[in-house]
Amino acid sequence: MSERATEYVTEEVWRQLFSRRRRRRRRCKGLARLAEAILTGKRMLHNLVGAIAAWLASLLGGDRVVQAFARQLAANIPLPPDAKMVAAARGLQVTGVLLCLVNGDDLTRCQCFIDLALEETKTQVKKILLAALEDWTALAHFPATSR
Protein backbone atom coordinates (compact mmCIF):
# COMPACT_ATOMS: atom_id res chain seq x y z
CA MET A 1 0.00 0.00 0.00
CA SER A 2 2.72 2.48 0.89
CA GLU A 3 4.48 1.82 -2.42
CA ARG A 4 1.29 2.75 -4.27
CA ALA A 5 0.70 5.84 -2.15
CA THR A 6 4.26 7.09 -2.55
CA GLU A 7 3.65 7.28 -6.30
CA TYR A 8 1.51 10.32 -5.44
CA VAL A 9 2.96 11.64 -2.16
CA THR A 10 6.50 11.66 -0.85
CA GLU A 11 7.65 8.89 1.42
CA GLU A 12 8.36 11.50 4.11
CA VAL A 13 4.74 12.74 4.14
CA TRP A 14 3.48 9.13 4.19
CA ARG A 15 5.71 8.37 7.19
CA GLN A 16 4.61 11.52 9.02
CA LEU A 17 0.97 10.65 8.43
CA PHE A 18 1.43 7.43 10.41
CA SER A 19 3.57 8.90 13.18
CA ARG A 20 2.25 9.30 16.73
CA ARG A 21 -0.50 6.87 17.57
CA ARG A 22 -2.63 9.48 19.31
CA ARG A 23 -2.87 11.69 16.24
CA ARG A 24 -3.75 8.92 13.78
CA ARG A 25 -7.37 8.81 14.98
CA ARG A 26 -7.80 12.54 14.42
CA ARG A 27 -6.11 12.26 11.06
CA CYS A 28 -8.64 9.64 9.96
CA LYS A 29 -11.48 12.00 10.84
CA GLY A 30 -9.74 14.81 8.98
CA LEU A 31 -9.25 12.61 5.93
CA ALA A 32 -12.94 11.62 6.07
CA ARG A 33 -14.03 15.27 6.22
CA LEU A 34 -11.76 16.18 3.31
CA ALA A 35 -13.00 13.25 1.20
CA GLU A 36 -16.60 14.30 1.83
CA ALA A 37 -15.75 17.90 0.92
CA ILE A 38 -14.22 16.77 -2.38
CA LEU A 39 -17.27 14.66 -3.24
CA THR A 40 -19.59 17.52 -2.24
CA GLY A 41 -17.52 19.88 -4.39
CA LYS A 42 -17.91 17.50 -7.31
CA ARG A 43 -21.72 17.53 -6.90
CA MET A 44 -21.70 21.33 -6.60
CA LEU A 45 -19.62 21.64 -9.77
CA HIS A 46 -22.14 19.49 -11.66
CA ASN A 47 -25.03 21.56 -10.32
CA LEU A 48 -23.26 24.76 -11.42
CA VAL A 49 -22.72 23.41 -14.94
CA GLY A 50 -26.40 22.45 -15.05
CA ALA A 51 -27.50 25.89 -13.87
CA ILE A 52 -25.34 27.58 -16.52
CA ALA A 53 -26.81 25.34 -19.24
CA ALA A 54 -30.36 26.19 -18.09
CA TRP A 55 -29.50 29.90 -18.02
CA LEU A 56 -28.10 29.71 -21.55
CA ALA A 57 -31.23 27.86 -22.71
CA SER A 58 -33.39 30.63 -21.25
CA LEU A 59 -31.28 33.30 -22.99
CA LEU A 60 -31.81 31.48 -26.27
CA GLY A 61 -35.56 31.43 -25.74
CA GLY A 62 -35.94 27.93 -24.40
CA ASP A 63 -39.08 27.30 -22.37
CA ARG A 64 -39.07 25.70 -18.90
CA VAL A 65 -38.96 22.17 -20.31
CA VAL A 66 -35.96 22.97 -22.51
CA GLN A 67 -34.25 24.65 -19.56
CA ALA A 68 -34.94 21.64 -17.28
CA PHE A 69 -33.63 19.29 -19.96
CA ALA A 70 -30.47 21.38 -20.45
CA ARG A 71 -29.93 21.60 -16.67
CA GLN A 72 -30.30 17.86 -16.10
CA LEU A 73 -28.29 16.84 -19.16
CA ALA A 74 -25.39 19.16 -18.38
CA ALA A 75 -25.42 18.30 -14.66
CA ASN A 76 -25.30 14.56 -15.28
CA ILE A 77 -22.66 14.30 -17.99
CA PRO A 78 -19.28 13.33 -16.50
CA LEU A 79 -16.81 16.21 -16.34
CA PRO A 80 -13.06 15.88 -16.96
CA PRO A 81 -12.07 16.33 -13.28
CA ASP A 82 -14.64 13.76 -12.02
CA ALA A 83 -12.32 10.74 -12.04
CA LYS A 84 -9.54 12.62 -10.26
CA MET A 85 -11.89 13.98 -7.61
CA VAL A 86 -13.36 10.55 -6.89
CA ALA A 87 -9.90 8.93 -6.89
CA ALA A 88 -8.61 11.56 -4.46
CA ALA A 89 -11.60 11.13 -2.14
CA ARG A 90 -11.35 7.33 -2.20
CA GLY A 91 -7.59 7.51 -1.67
CA LEU A 92 -8.15 9.68 1.41
CA GLN A 93 -10.74 7.22 2.72
CA VAL A 94 -8.56 4.16 2.12
CA THR A 95 -5.66 5.89 3.89
CA GLY A 96 -7.95 6.71 6.81
CA VAL A 97 -8.99 3.07 7.06
CA LEU A 98 -5.33 2.07 7.05
CA LEU A 99 -4.64 4.57 9.85
CA CYS A 100 -7.43 3.00 11.91
CA LEU A 101 -6.13 -0.51 11.23
CA VAL A 102 -2.59 0.44 12.24
CA ASN A 103 -4.03 2.06 15.36
CA GLY A 104 -5.93 -1.11 16.22
CA ASP A 105 -9.24 0.76 16.15
CA ASP A 106 -12.62 -0.91 15.66
CA LEU A 107 -13.46 -0.33 11.98
CA THR A 108 -17.13 0.20 12.79
CA ARG A 109 -15.99 3.40 14.51
CA CYS A 110 -13.60 4.47 11.73
CA GLN A 111 -15.27 7.34 9.86
CA CYS A 112 -13.36 6.64 6.63
CA PHE A 113 -14.44 2.99 6.72
CA ILE A 114 -18.05 3.95 7.48
CA ASP A 115 -18.20 6.45 4.60
CA LEU A 116 -16.55 4.07 2.14
CA ALA A 117 -18.72 1.12 3.18
CA LEU A 118 -21.94 3.13 2.95
CA GLU A 119 -21.10 4.41 -0.53
CA GLU A 120 -20.10 0.98 -1.81
CA THR A 121 -23.19 -0.58 -0.24
CA LYS A 122 -25.44 1.97 -1.97
CA THR A 123 -23.75 1.21 -5.28
CA GLN A 124 -24.13 -2.55 -4.84
CA VAL A 125 -27.78 -2.31 -3.75
CA LYS A 126 -28.52 -0.10 -6.77
CA LYS A 127 -26.96 -2.74 -9.07
CA ILE A 128 -29.08 -5.45 -7.45
CA LEU A 129 -32.28 -3.42 -7.83
CA LEU A 130 -31.50 -2.62 -11.47
CA ALA A 131 -30.82 -6.31 -12.15
CA ALA A 132 -34.15 -7.19 -10.54
CA LEU A 133 -35.98 -4.73 -12.77
CA GLU A 134 -34.62 -6.39 -15.90
CA ASP A 135 -34.72 -10.07 -15.08
CA TRP A 136 -34.82 -11.79 -11.70
CA THR A 137 -32.53 -14.52 -12.94
CA ALA A 138 -29.82 -11.82 -13.16
CA LEU A 139 -29.94 -11.71 -9.35
CA ALA A 140 -27.85 -14.88 -9.39
CA HIS A 141 -24.89 -12.63 -10.19
CA PHE A 142 -25.14 -11.28 -6.62
CA PRO A 143 -24.66 -14.33 -4.38
CA ALA A 144 -25.11 -13.91 -0.65
CA THR A 145 -21.91 -13.81 1.30
CA SER A 146 -21.46 -16.65 3.75
CA ARG A 147 -21.49 -15.71 7.41
What whole-number percentage of the chain has pLDDT above 70?
A: 93
Closest CA to 81 of 116, 45, 50, 49: 45
Q: pLDDT per residue over 35-77, tens digit each? A: 999 999 999 999 999 999 999 999 999 999 999 999 999 999 9
Residues comprising the chain, all counted? 147
Domain ranges of the chain: 2-141
- How far apart are the C-alpha atoms of 36 and 101, rounded to whole Å? 20
Closest CA to 119 of 101, 138, 97, 98: 97
| pLDDT of 101 higher than 70 | yes
Q: pLDDT per residue over 7-29, tens digit each? A: 888 888 888 888 876 677 788 99
C-alpha of 130 from chain center: 20
Q: What is the pLDDT of residue 22?
A: 63
